[in-house]
Amino acid sequence: MNEQLIDNLVDQVVAKINEERSFLVEASGRHVHLSQEHINALFGEGYQLTINNYLSQPGQYASKERVTLLGPKGTLHNVVILGPARAASQVEISGTDALALGIKVPVKESGDIEGTPGIVLVNGHKTVTLEKGLIIAKRHVHVSTNDAKKMNVTQGEIVKVRINSEQRSLIFDDVVIRVSDKFATAMHIDYDEANACSFKKGIRGHIVK
């Protein structure tokens, strides 16, 4: 067997391993998670969100309900609410959105809302003022427990992820791994990050260490 053939076989094996360890990359637009208390305040006592479509993460969905985000310098209209209801309300936006609102917003992991700014949510004549919960979500990969073993990653680990696109392939650094048996494996980036890599639906990434 000549060296060229061996090199080709090695390349094929490596490519297959990379494909098996690759994962879907999804771009997340601005959205809101609400507690039942704040759902009640914005839509009425005992109100239940209306499912519009299910998301890639099991049990998660985009609702038909929308709200407006009101900031010191601007507003963002028609912002989707994701369900189901959470224990604490949280609003996830991009850096560009933060500039439009006129608020300095930190990059945080979802659920880590201590020390974050608040925002006013509006639905018609009803409003809710959040004292905290406005974040730019830290880029992350949801990983199922089984896939975490295959990919050799652990909960909370910080990795680099390469995304191959036609025009702007790049490597994202400082990506947090989130592992759970309730997750479907997929990476989430915001629209600013999606624009940076010329995101297209169906694009995939893989971890490089």
Q: What is the pLDDT of residue 177?
A: 98
Residues composing the chain:
209
One DSSP character per residue, 64-112 reads EEEEEEE-SS-EEEEEEEEEEEESS-EEE--HHHHHHHT----EE-TT-
Report, as an integer, the average pLDDT of 177-204. Answer: 97
pLDDT at 32 over 90: yes
Classify domain 22-26+139-208 at the CATH class level: mainly beta
Please provide the average confidence, as pLDDT, over all residues in the chain.
92
132: which residues sit within 8 A by CB, 6+ positions away?
113, 114, 115, 116, 117, 118
Nearest-CA neighbor of 204 among 12, 11, 14, 20? Answer: 20
Mean of the pLDDT values across residues 132-157?
96
Q: Which residue has the tokens 């260490």?
A: 209
- Whose CA is closest to 140, among 157, 164, 118? 157
pLDDT per position as a tens digit, 176-189: 999 999 999 999 99
* Domain spans in the chain, listed from the N-terminal domain onward: 22-26+139-208, 30-137
pLDDT tens for residues 89-108? 999 999 999 999 999 999 99
What pLDDT is attached to residue 142? Answer: 98
Rounded mean pLDDT, 41-67: 97
